[in-house]
Structure 1
Amino acid sequence: MALPLSAIKAVLSSDELHVGLEDVVFDFALEWAHAKYPNLGERREILGSHIVPAIRFSSMSTHKLRAVFECEDIDPSLASKLVARAFIVNAEEAELKHCVAECAYKLPPLKVIQLAESLAKCLVFLDLRQEQCAALFPTGYMKSQVFYLSGNAFYLRVQCNKNDESSSHSFGLYLGIGERLDTVFTQYTFAYRLKPSRRFRTTGMLEYQFVKGQTSEYGFANLFKTPWTSFIAGDSPHFLNGLLHLRAEVAINTQ
């Protein structure tokens, strides 16, 4: 643990470093930082500026990514970005491996990462093929597989909505919950990736109270604020390699 900062950076950045998972590297870096920088503020600065860029977070286990998110030694905003980026990279790698395979799911599968048990918060990723979206026209809908947060079964619902006044159609995205005995207060945002940046664009925060004893859904009737024809067009910016990438960040408000 007597190694200087320059040496630690060289070791962590080396392609000759062979470990089963990057979890070991992260734990070693934290142990070194605690030994060299007992002051929390200084330790956060060193880790964030010099050590974190050398760690391959996408090679960590989900369990360790959760620990990263909750780690007090890393600035919370930075930790959130690191975890989300790692999960996106893993999702993209899986997409490349399976992009030619036809999915036969009746319910679209989700990729879920729980961000913090104490905050009852998670990130949910849903990818849909362009032909799946096109098949929703004119008034079809599709529910995802369920995901659980604090014992509550949630799902995402996509739908082709028709505006009765203008006869136009749009793409809708909603958060839904199964019947519950207790009322659940939620806060959540949706996001979707766009060309050419390939970055997620986030919607405004939604707050909704799911009332006990009822099955309900709440979200955006026109997520992209664009007509259906523009959304589904061949040159649409919403499909990357034929896939629509959606994300929801969901939190249960316990107050």
Structure 2
Amino acid sequence: MKESDQRHATLRINESEEAALMELLSFMYSGKLSTTSPSLLLDVLMAADKFEVVSCMRHCSQLLRSLPMTTESALLYLDLPCSVSMASAVQPLTDAAKDYLAKSYRDITKFQDEMLGLPLSGIEAILSSDDLQVASEDAIYDFVLKKLRKVLTCNDLDHEIASKLVTDALFFKAEAPHRQRALSADESSHRRFTERAYKYRPLKVVEFERPHPQCIVYLDLTRDECANLFPSGRVYSQAFHLGGQGFFLSAHCNLDQHSLFHCFGLFLGMQEKGSISFTVEYEFAARTKSGEFVSKYKGFYTFTGGKAVGYRNLFGIPWTSFVAEDSLFFINGTLHLRAELTIKQPQPPSLQ
């Protein structure tokens, strides 16, 4: 609020602004507000922004953050029409609103219909979170397509910018894994493509059909993801297919076979339950700091629906040694695992 040389000043306000302005004047003299009403606090915040009373804006922001938040209030806080110079005063409030929405709608599959009705600011806050509970980025992609079909006719969408963002994302998705990692590291232009922490960890799969049905599956886990498994957690990969059947990898923190210490285990599971049965030759390997994958466990297993095979102590060392800073198996904080699977077709009996 700028001072004037005039001894008397006249301030004209709308009738609806009176209560908020009186609270603002009271704060300027006493440093306190008499209301805890969310709607009035929001009006006071707007009045404080209008007259550039930053201390009151911060106080209102703090009070609003201390009150129970709802989806409706969170969306209001995201769209506060504060001036650019005053935006920092309410940034903690908008951050809290984003965090509330991200946590409330973290399971996109469960709340998909409700999310489709949210404005774009709410959708952006949710999809910016790294803690979404989704099987893969494909689930998010499908949701965004549904949302786009609803909003493409809206006047508040910049079609040129939207087209560019979608095109950039599609080109990124088509890149080879090593190029995706390089682009993700470029914070100036591709930060928005950084991989999330998925409910089911993404895989990289190479498939072969001849001479036998075969696939090579790569699973990466960060040191933090592994550490969070202690003492009895597990994390599952996305599904992949071999011989027409669905499989998955799962990493565990469990006790060794003699229950003496915790250790890292890796397992291969078959999704479908039923009478289908076939034999898989498998090999688990991990990349060491030499850059090479080292075989850790291999064998044959006859799968039937719902069964799994693996090794409780893949590296043959206690958990503390596995996650230690000098561990041989973490390269720049990431554990690189590989599973090579082959279906050995039964040979027809020879004719005599």
Q: Does 2:287 match 1:193?
A: yes
Taking the aligned partners of 1:166 and 1:146, their CA distance within structure 2 comes to: 30
Partner of 1:171: 264
Partner of 2:324: 233
- Per-residue CA deviation, residues 83-108 of structure 1 (Å, 9 max, x unaligned), is xxxxxxx5444334336735131100
Change (3 A) 1:220 1:165: closer
Structure-2-length-normalised TM-score: 0.44
Q: Compute the displacement of 1:118 (Å).
A: 4.5
1:115 pairs with one of 208, 214, 222: 208
Q: Compute the displacement of 1:236 (Å).
A: 1.2
Q: Percent identity?
A: 40
SS in 2 for 1:119: coil
Taking the aligned partners of 2:263 and 2:221, their CA distance within structure 1 comes to: 16
Change (3 A) 1:243 1:97: farther
For 1:207, give the aligned amino acid.
F
- Per-residue CA deviation, residues 196-228 of structure 1 (Å, 9 max, x unaligned), is x111001343100112xx411101111111110
Q: Compute the displacement of 1:129 (Å).
A: 0.9
SS in 1 for 2:200: coil
- Per-residue CA deviation, residues 162-196 of structure 1 (Å, 9 max, x unaligned), is 1374541010001100124311211010110011x
Taking the aligned partners of 1:161 and 1:244, their CA distance within structure 2 comes to: 17
**Is this contact kept in 1: 2:217–2:338, CA < 8 A?**
yes
Taking the aligned partners of 1:159 and 1:105, their CA distance within structure 2 comes to: 16
1:95 pairs with one of 178, 181, 184: 181
RMSD after superposition: 1.9
SS in 2 for 1:209: strand
Q: Compute the displacement of 1:115 (Å).
A: 2.2
Q: Does 2:182 match 1:182?
A: no
2:341 pairs with one of 230, 250, 253: 250
Partner of 2:227: 134
Structure-1-length-normalised TM-score: 0.60
User: 4+ residue stretches of structure 1 with deviation over 6 A?
Assistant: none
Taking the aligned partners of 2:277 and 2:257, their CA distance within structure 1 comes to: 32
Partner of 2:99: none
Matches within 5 A, 1:184-223: 184-195=278-289, 197-211=290-304, 214-223=305-314
Partner of 2:101: none
More strand by share: 1
